[in-house]
Amino acid sequence: MNSSMTFDRRELDELRARFPEVVAFDKGRRNRNVLIGLGVVAYVIFCLWAFEITWERLTGGLDKMAIVIRQMVTWNDFWTWDFSGIALGLAQTLGMAFLGTLVASLVALPLGFLAARNVVGFSPLRHLVRRVLDVFRGVDQLIWALVYVRAVGLGPLAGVLAIMTSDTGILGKLYSEAVENIDKKQVEGVKATGASPLALYRFGALPQVIPVFLAQSLYFFESNTRSATILGIVGAGGIGMQLSERMRVQYWDQACFIIILILIMVGVIDWLSGKLRMHFIGKRDL
């Protein structure tokens, strides 16, 4: 090997012959990568065709988007905007998220215990509760909102009910998992003192799961402030109603203002509830 760390052709060939496994070129792997690449390209072409994405539509749409973005950042008649309506929308969103999460947590509490394997030994009941929770969870919040709007009319009540229904499904499942994961030793400790079955749950199980429940509910309050902002699109109240109305009549500047307000609100709620969560469960992760 020469000292300047460069190789001439002959030396390279020699090295290749000496260490074939180091320089071996994996043909199978290259072929596989080429095949994957071709597959992706074919899929993209298929999608362009299936979704009718053409160059004219793309450029035309982008031109329109440029107009929208320009209008979003020029706020001319700012002081004439309907601030009280917007503030009411934000307040409604917060209220919907809070109440929906609260009621869902209260409903999910007994259901969570009923769906836990180590609480309910009688499996038909457990399975029934679980399937009900599955249905609540399987249907999207926005679909629930649309259904409730048909039933109780336009307005935030439909939104609360929608959040409540879908969150009962999710929280019920999470609660039941938390109950299934409790530490048996504490329950046994309480049992050793001769406690009644009810006291067993109160002092053995509840102290273990309550912080987890609280943290999960808080987390869903956060996530619901986000999702409550879009429930208004189907008429279920909140800031989304204000936003979608303005987008439909192309008041892009006001829409942009509302989006900024939503982002600020969500950020503040995230921060607050993060603090509270920390307070309840310490630095432990979920």
Partner 1 sequence: MTDLAAQDPVVLFERHRAEQIRSRRGQTVLAILLFFTFLAFSINMSQFFPEKLAAGLPKIGDYLYDILPTLELSKLHLDTETEGSLAYWYFNLPTYLQLLLQTINMAVFGTLIGAVFGFLLCFPASRNLIRNYWIYFIARRIMEIARGVPDVIYALLFVWAFGIGPMAGVFAIAIHSAGALGKMFAEVNENVSTGPIEGVRATGGGWFEEMRFGVVPQVWPNFLSYIWLRLEINIRSSSIIGFVGAGGIGQELYYVINFNHYEEVSAIVLLVILTVTIVDLISERLRHQAIGKEQLL
Residues in touch with partner 1 (CB under 8 A): 40, 43-44, 47, 50-53, 57-58, 60-62, 64-65, 68, 91-92, 94-96, 98-99, 102, 134-135, 138-140, 142-143, 146-148, 150-153, 155-157, 159-161, 226-227, 229-230, 233-234, 237, 243-244, 247-248, 250, 259, 262-263, 266
Q: Which is nearer to partner 1, 34 or 53 (CB)?
A: 53
Q: Which residues of 168-200 are buried (b: 16+ CB within 10 A; e: fewer)?
A: bbbbbbbbbebbeebeeeebeebbeeebeeeeb
From the CB of 147, what's the least distance to partner 1, in Å?
7
From the CB of 57, what's the least distance to partner 1, in Å?
6
CA angle 268, 272, 276 (to 5 degrees): 165
From the CB of 286, what's the least distance to partner 1, in Å?
15
Q: Which is nearer to partner 1, 53 or 278 (CB)?
A: 53
Q: Which is nearer to partner 1, 57 or 184 (CB)?
A: 57
Are 23 and 16 in contact, with CB atoms under 8 Å apart?
yes
From the CB of 140, what's the least distance to partner 1, in Å?
5
From the CB of 197, what's the least distance to partner 1, in Å?
29
Are 136 and 172 in contact, with CB atoms under 8 Å apart?
yes
From the CB of 101, what's the least distance to partner 1, in Å?
10
Q: Which is nearer to partner 1, 113 or 148 (CB)?
A: 148
Closest CA to 252 of 91, 16, 64, 54: 64
From the CB of 183, what's the least distance to partner 1, in Å?
22
Are 145 and 158 in contact, with CB atoms under 8 Å apart?
yes
Q: Which is nearer to partner 1, 109 or 259 (CB)?
A: 259
From the CB of 76, what's the least distance to partner 1, in Å?
20
Are 172 and 112 in contact, with CB atoms under 8 Å apart?
yes
Can you tell me the distance from the alpha carbon of 119 to that of 128, in angstroms, rounded to the nearest whole number? 15
Q: Which is nearer to partner 1, 199 or 249 (CB)?
A: 249
Q: How far is CA 101 from its chain centroid?
A: 14
Those residues whose C-beta lies under 8 Å from the C-beta of residue 200, and which sit 6 or more positions away, are 187, 190, 191
Residue type, 92: Q
* DSSP class of 2: -
H/E stretch holding 259: helix 252-281
Tell me which residue has tokens 């009621």.
103
Q: Which is nearer to partner 1, 68 or 195 (CB)?
A: 68
Q: Which is nearer to partner 1, 65 or 278 (CB)?
A: 65
